[in-house]
Structures are given as C-alpha cells and as structure tokens.
Amino acid sequence: MSGVRLKDLAGRKNPLTEGHRMCPGCGSPTALRQAFMGIDDPVVVVGATGCMEVSSTVYPYSAWRVPFMHVAFENAAAAISGVAAAHEVLARRGAARKDIKFVAFGGDGGTYDIGLQALSGALERGHDFTYICYNNQGYMNTGAQRSGATPRGANATTSPAGRVLGGKLERPKNMTEIAAAHDIPYAAQTTLHNPADLISKVRRAVETPGPAFVNVLTPCALFWKIEPSDQVKICSLAADTRFWPVYEVIDGRHVLSYTPKNPRPLEDFLRAQGRYAHLFKKGEERADLIAQAQRDVDEDWEKLLGKCSRSALTSASS
C-alpha cells in the first residue's frame, strides 16, 4: 500500500468533524474519513444529496472544516468539474494557488443512477478531479429503495422479498468498469477491510492528473441489518468471498490489490446480513437465488482475472 503509514496518519486533523449525524456503525463517514487521509493538499469538496450530505450539513451547521458545496442528487460531478475549470482559469491569472485538489462524493443512488449522466460527461471532458462513491447499495437516505448497485437477492422496499419474489432479481451495474471505460487515468474499487488500501487508492486518485473514480463499498447497518460494530467484518467478507473485488485500473491496466488465499463461499457474506435472511428462511429457502448469486461472483471474478492477465502481458511487452 505504497507510502501509507497508518501510524503517521492517526493524529491528523480530518476535514470531517466528529459532529455529524450519521447512524452509529454507518460505513460512509468511516470511508470518507479514511479517504481524506490520502489528501495532503488543500481540498474543495462537493457533496451530492444523500445520507452524508443531509447528515453533515444540517442548516445552519456543517460538519466540514473545508470549503464544501452541497448540490443536487444528479449533478455533483458537473459541479466539481465547473469548480475545477474555474480554478484553472484563476490559477493561470495568478489569482488562486495551484495545488488545490477537487473531490466530489455521492452515494450509489447519486452515482450509479441519478448522477450517471453528469459523471459520464465530466469523465469524458477530462477535468482534474476525484469522484468518490460511498456505495451502500441502495437509496438509504429515502427508505432503502433498490438502486442500480443493489445486489441480486437483496431485500429492498421497492424490490421486497416475499413468496413470489426473492428480493431484487437483477444484477447490479459494474460502475467501476463503466467509469474505467471512459479511458480515464485512474479508477479503483475498495472497501473498509483495509484502511491502508482505501487511503492509498484515494491518494493515487487525487495525485493523478485528470479525472479519477474510487468506488468504496460502505455498509449501511440499518438496512443491511447488521450489528453496527460489524461493518469491517462485513467488508472483509465481501473481499474474501470475492463479492467485492479489490483492484485498480491504472491508465487502462487492471491490477488486483487483494487476492483471497482461501476464498470463502458467497453464502458466508449473505448469511451475515439481514437483508438476505429471506433466502435462508426455513421451509422457504431460495437455493436457486443463492446459487445464481454465486455464479455471478464467479463470472465477474474470472472476467477480472482475464483483464488483469492481459494487462500484465501488455505491461511486460511494452
């Protein structure tokens, strides 16, 4: 985890104060605190509407110690690209310092779905900014509706589990690969299983000229139905079952950051969360959906390994 020493970061002042109003055990503030440990320069932050925004900027108070702009669900990427473009002009005129970093964040609802158009446009235009998705796999701010990131089989209020349907039936979008397909310099996927990994990925993202995207799996204790103290345990299971591969895409080259030595079955990850309890309900077990979800994970892992192998061959021959 290149250059990251957690001991050196432990006493560092964080842009996000302790006075936010997120739920106990929520993964999102943990993810953003760790993310900002990877940013050394002055930073300007844009936050999409969502759990983090409504809980950290309750008027007339703010939990942010840095310049912060709240925008709508759908336009965080457009806003940060505009701020970055304005700064570029001011810096050329000598009216602003040149070392400012620009970061936008949003949940999966504001990233995978509502804000996808703005994010795609900002990535295509090539603005110098980093976009961080705190991905709790649903519209948690408005009642746990399913999103484009909600996994197959998960129970959500708009894809409820019952006798007919076993939760959401569709596969989630692969947003990290969608971002990488814009031929941006850097895209990455991580979770809270290893703070050094998250911090180093954000550091690389903000230090890479041009647009960068970091997708962070962040448990929602309330709607994933887990104990608040188990967020890191759940994230470790996500990585060890290969449900959430940990990797990066550097100038188009796929590189694995973590390979489980002894991969665990996906069922271990599913059983640890109440949002999948219906799949294991006695007398109503949905072995078909569990098996399909395992096939999804296996297929995605093999595709990723293939991309990493091709990247390694290309790198060796260049």
Is residue 234, in this structure, part of any structural domain at all?
yes
| Cis, bond preceding 151 (omega within 30 deg of 0) | no
Q: End-to-end CA distance of the chain: give it in Å, rounded.
A: 24
Assign 21 a pLDDT band (cuts: 50, 70, 90): confident
Assign 1 a pLDDT band (cuts: 50, 70, 90): very low
Distances (CA, A) of 297 to 161, 174, 231, 272, 290: 21, 12, 21, 17, 11
Is residue 245, in this structure, part of any structural domain at all?
yes
CA distance 90 to 103: 18
Is residue 166, in this structure, part of any structural domain at all?
yes
Is residue 296, in this structure, part of any structural domain at all?
yes
Give pLDDT, residue 316: 65
Owning domain of residue 251? 6-317
Is residue 307, in this structure, part of any structural domain at all?
yes
Assign 311 a pLDDT band (cuts: 50, 70, 90): confident
Assign 3 a pLDDT band (cuts: 50, 70, 90): low
Is residue 44, in this structure, part of any structural domain at all?
yes
Mean pLDDT of 194-219: 96
Distances (CA, A) of 76 to 117, 128, 130, 224: 11, 14, 11, 26
Is residue 264, in this structure, part of any structural domain at all?
yes
**Cβ contacts of residue 299 below 8 Å, gap of 6+?**
none
Is residue 1, in this structure, part of any structural domain at all?
no
Q: What domain count does the chain have?
A: 1
Residue 241 carries which side chain, given as an amino acid letter? T
Give the CATH number for residue 72.
3.40.50.970
